[in-house]
Amino acid sequence: MQNIPQDTTKRGTAVSNLTAAIESVSQLTTGWRAMVLDRDEQADVRDLPGLAVRWADCRFAFWNAVTLTETGTDATLLEKRLRQAADIMGSKRQPGFLWLFEDLLADDARAALEEAAERAGLAYAFPGTGMAGDLLPIPEPHHPDLTFERVTTDEHLLAYADLNSRAYGFPLEDGRDGLAGSALWKQEVYAYLALRDGTPVACAATVEAQGRLFVVLVATDPGWQRRGYGEAVTRKALYEGARATGLTRATLHATAAGAPVYPRIGFEPNSPMRFYALKG
C-alpha cells in the first residue's frame, strides 16, 4: 500500500471537515429561515457579513439563532464576530443561542475561542455535532411498543411542542410558543409522533432544505428514554420524507444526548458545534 504523506492526509481531512461545516451552516440557515418566518413574518432574518440571523424572538429559544458563516475565521475576526453576535442577541426581547461550527475557524481562532467568548459576554451552553449521510431510502420502521402518527392537527402540534419542552427542560409554554398553530408544520414538514398506548412519547421531523432532508426537533419524553423510541420515530420521519421527496441525503444537528443514536441510522458525525447564550 502506498504511503500517504501525513501533511497531505491532514490537508485532506481539513478540507473534508470544512466542506461538512459549510453544509451544516447552509442547512441551518435555510431550514431556520422557514421555521422563523413561520412564527413571525416580520422576524429578523438577515444575512450579514460573516453572520446569519434567524430570530423569531419567540419564547422557544431554538427559533432564536445567530451563526457565524465565514470560513477560515482567524482570531481577530472571531473577536469581532462574537461581539457583533452578542450585540444582536442583547437587542432582542427573548433569549436564544449563537450556533458556532468549529471547523469554520482557523487554528488560532479555536485556541482563542473561550477567552473571546468571555470578553463578548457569551456563556457556553452545550455542545452539538453536525451529521450527514447519503442514507436514503431506508426501510419502513417498526417498533413493537409504538404506533406513528403524522402531525396534522393543532392537538398534534401541542403534543410535539410539549415533548420538546420536557426533553430540553423548557417550560411548556415556551415550546408551544414555537409551534402552536403552525400551518407549515402541519403541511410541509414531515413531523411524526410516536405513541405508546395512545400517549405521545417521542417525536421527530424532517423538512426539505437545499436538496436534502433536514432532521429537526427530535425529542423523547424523559420518562421513556433509552428504549429506542427516538431512533424509531426519526427513522419514520426520514422514511416518509424520503418517500415523498425522493431525496437521498439527510443532515441534522445532534445534541450530546442524540449523538449516539444517529450513526445507527447511517449518519456520520462531521463538524463539532458549540452553543452560546448571553451571560445572565
CA-angle at 251, arms to 240 and 50, nearest 5°: 140
Q: How far is CA 54 from CA 32, 174, 239, in A?
A: 6, 17, 28
- % of the chain at pLDDT higher than 90: 92
Report the pLDDT value the prediction gives residue 15, as an integer from 0 to 100.
57
Q: What is the pLDDT of residues 192-210, one digit of tens each?
A: 999 999 999 999 999 999 9
Strand ordering across the sheet containing 268-278: 44-48, 51-55, 64-68, 97-101, 268-278, 122-133, 250-255, 212-220, 199-209, 190-196, 147-150
Average pLDDT over residues 159-178: 97
Average pLDDT over residues 219-241: 97
- Residue 43 φ/ψ, nearest 5 degrees: -60, 160
Report the pLDDT value the prediction gives residue 165, as an integer from 0 to 100.
97
Q: What is the pLDDT of residues 100-154, one digit of tens each?
A: 999 999 999 999 999 999 999 999 999 999 999 999 999 999 999 999 999 999 9
Report the pLDDT value the prediction gives residue 13, as an integer from 0 to 100.
53
Report the pLDDT value the prediction gives residue 280, as an integer from 0 to 100.
81
pLDDT at 9 over 90: no
Sequential DSSP letters for the chain: -PPPPHHHHHHHHHHHHHHHHHHHHHHHHHHHHHHHHHH-TT-EEEEETTEEEEE--SS-GGGEEEEE--SSB-HHHHHHHHHHHHHHHHTSSS--EEEEEGGGB-HHHHHHHHHHHHHHTEEEEEEEEEEEE---S-PPP--TT-EEEE--SHHHHHHHHHHHHHHHT--HHHHHHHHTT-HHHHHTSEEEEEEETTEEEEEEEEEEETTEEEEEEEEE-GGG-SSSHHHHHHHHHHHHHHHHH----EEEEEETTTTTTGGGTT-EEEEEEEEEEE--
Report the pLDDT value the prediction gives residue 29, as an integer from 0 to 100.
97
pTM of the prediction? 0.91
Average pLDDT over residues 232-248: 98
> What band does 258 get if pLDDT is binned at 50, 70 and 90?
confident
Q: What is the pLDDT of residues 58-78, one digit of tens each?
A: 999 999 999 999 999 999 999
**Domains of the chain with bracketed CATH:** 6-129 (no CATH), 147-248 (3.40.630.30)
> What band does 4 get if pLDDT is binned at 50, 70 and 90?
very low
Report the pLDDT value the prediction gives residue 156, as an integer from 0 to 100.
98
